[in-house]
Chain A
Amino acid sequence: MLSKLKNYKFWFVFTPYFWLVAFFFIPLAIILKISFSVSEWGMPPYKDILEINNSGDFILNITSGNYAFIFSDFFYLKSYLNSLSLAFTSTLICLIIGYPIAFYVAKSKPKIRNLLLILLIIPFWTSFLLRVYAWKVLLQGNGILNLMLIKLGFISEPLSLLYNHYAVILGVVYTYLPFMILPLYGYLVKFDLRLIDAANDLGSRKINTFFKVILPLSLPGIIAGCMLVFIPVVGEFVIPELLGGSDKLYFGKIIWDEFFVNRDWPVASALAMSGILFLIVPIVIFQMSYSKYNFKNE
C-alpha cells in the first residue's frame, strides 16, 4: 500500500477520480434522490426520504408523483419538444453553414489557414453572453437590420424581429457555430486531399466524390460537431431568455423557473433527471464516436 502511494500513477488516477465523483456524480445522485422526494413548505422544501418519527418507526417518503406530474402536464412535455426542435433545427443549420467553411479553411494553404483559423476562434473566445446581447441590439425595432431594410426599400415599417423563436434559432446558430466548425475542421484538415484527385482521376463526378469519399470520411467529425451543438442547446437558458418571446417556452427556462420562481425543488429535479434520461442516447453516441476517433489516431 505504501509503495502504491509513492507511485505517481495512483495519484494521477485517484485525484481527478475523487474530484469528479464528489462534484459531478454525487450531485447527480442527489437530484435523482430529490426528484423522488415529497415537497413540503420549509427549508429545504422537501421531506427527507428516510424519516424517524417520534415512536421510533422508519418512514419512507418516496413518491413517483413528481414524474407523474410532469409527464401528465402537457405544458412540460411541450417545452421539452420545443427545446428538441430548437436543438435539431439549429444543429442542422450549423452543419449546413459550418461544413463549407470548415472544408475551405482546411483546404487553404497553411499560411492563410492559420489566419482563417484564428479568425474562427476569436468569436469563440469572446464572451458568449455579449455575442447573444449583440443580436439583441441588432434586432431591435429601430436596430441596424430594420434600418437597412427600410433604407433598401424592402419594408416601410420596422419588423418585429426580436422576441420570437426565429430570433432564438438565429442566436443559437450564431453562438454555437464554432462548436460545429472546430471539430469538423479537425477532421478535414487531416484529410488526404489526394483522395479527391484520385476519385476525379478515376472518373467520379464531383458530386459523387463529395458524397462517396469526402462526406463518409468526415462523418466522425460531423457526429462530434452535431452532438456538441445539439446536447447543450436542449438545456439552453440564456439565449431564449434574451432573444425569445412568449411564443415558445423552452426546457432550460422551465427548470430555472421551477427552481427559482416556484421553489419546487422536487419537480425541478425530476425535470432535470428526465432531461438527462432523454439525452443519454445522444451522449452515448457522442462518447462512442469520440473514443472511435481516438482509437483511430492511435
Chain B
Amino acid sequence: MNKSFLKYTLLGIGFSFLYFPIFALIIYSFNESKRVMVWKGFSLKWYGELFKNEQILESFYISLKIASMSATFATILGVMAGYSLARISKIPFRPFFIFISTAPLVMPEIILGLSLLLFFISSNNLFGLPSSKGQLTVLISHMTFSVAFVAVIIQARLFGFNKSIEEAAQDLGAVPNSVIWKVTLPVILPSIISGWLLAFTLSLDDLVVASFTTGPGANTLPIVVFSKVRLGLSPEVNALSAVIMLVIVSIAVGYYIKIRNKSDVN
C-alpha cells in the first residue's frame, strides 16, 4: 500500500511536470487577447490567423519537404551503416568508421552547424559547389546527423536478433544477396520505420544546424518560429503548438489502440 502510494505519487509528479507546460500553452491558444498572458475570453481567432499566415505556412511546407527527403535518404544510408557495424567485420579503419558514425549523436549542434557552414563555403570557393546556400545545404546537413541516429537503431536491432536465422537461410541454399533481402530486411523493418520517423522529427525540429546552413528560400518552420518568439510571445505560435500536439496525440492514440488490439489477440 505504502509502496504503491510512493510509486503513483512519483509517476504523477513526473508526468504532470512533462505535460503541464504543454497543456497551459494549449489553453492560452484559445485566448482572444493579443497579449498572450491577459485572458480576455475564449476564441478561435489565433487559429484563423495561423492558417492565414503565409510565412508560417510556407516554412511549414519547406520543413515537411526537407524532413521527408532527409528522413528517406538518411534511412537508406543509416540502414547500410548499421548493417555494416553489426554484421561486416572487414571495414577499413573500423574504429574510425565507428567514430564518425556515432559521434554525430552527441556532437553539440552548434559545432555541427558551424562546421557544415564553413565546409559549404570552402567547397563553394574551391569547386563552385554548392552554388548557394538553400534547401539543398539544409537537406545535406540534416541527413548527416540523422544517419547516425538511424544507424544506432538498426545496429541495436541487429545485435538483438539472432544471427543464426541468417545462417540457417544460408545453409538452406540462399545466396548472401537474397538472405539480406528476404530475411534480414523484413526482420528489421519495424526498426527501419522507427528510424525513418526519428530522422523525420529530428529534421522537422532542428533549429541550430538549419540556421547555419540555410539560405534564401529555405526558412524552415523552427527558424520562423524562433524569430517570432526570440524577443516576446506570439499568440499564433500558441495555436501552432496546439495543432502540433493534436496531430502527435492522435498518432499516439492510434498507435496505442493498434498495439493494444494486437496484444489482446495474442
Contact = CB atoms under 8 A, between A and B. Distances in A.
Contacts of B7: 104
A232 B108 contact: yes
A143 B37 CA distance: 6
Q: DSSP class of A's interface residues: helix, strand, loop or mixed?
A: helix
Contact of B111 (A9, A120, A272, A291): A272
The interface size bin for chain A is 35 or more
Contacts of B222: 127, 129
Interface string A141-154: 01110000000000
A30 B88 contact: no
Interface in B192-242: 201, 204-205, 207-208, 222, 225-226, 229-230, 233, 237-238, 240-241
Nearest to A297: B159
A134 B207 contact: no
Contacts of B10: 100-101, 104
B217 to A, nearest CB: 20
B29 to A, nearest CB: 10
Q: DSSP class of B's interface residues: helix, strand, loop or mixed?
A: helix
A235 B244 contact: no
A115 interface: yes
A294 B259 contact: no
Interface of B: 7, 10-11, 14-15, 17-22, 24-25, 28, 36-38, 77-78, 80-81, 83-84, 86, 88, 91, 97-111, 114-116, 118-119, 121-122, 125, 140-141, 143-144, 147-148, 151, 155-156, 159-160, 176-177, 180, 201, 204-205, 207-208, 222, 225-226, 229-230, 233, 237-238, 240-241, 244-245, 248-249, 252, 255-256, 259-260, 263
Given A130-B240, A242-B229, A286-B106, 13 more contacts: A24-B103, A100-B14, A101-B10, A101-B15, A104-B11, A118-B255, A127-B244, A136-B229, A137-B238, A241-B230, A272-B111, A282-B106, A297-B159
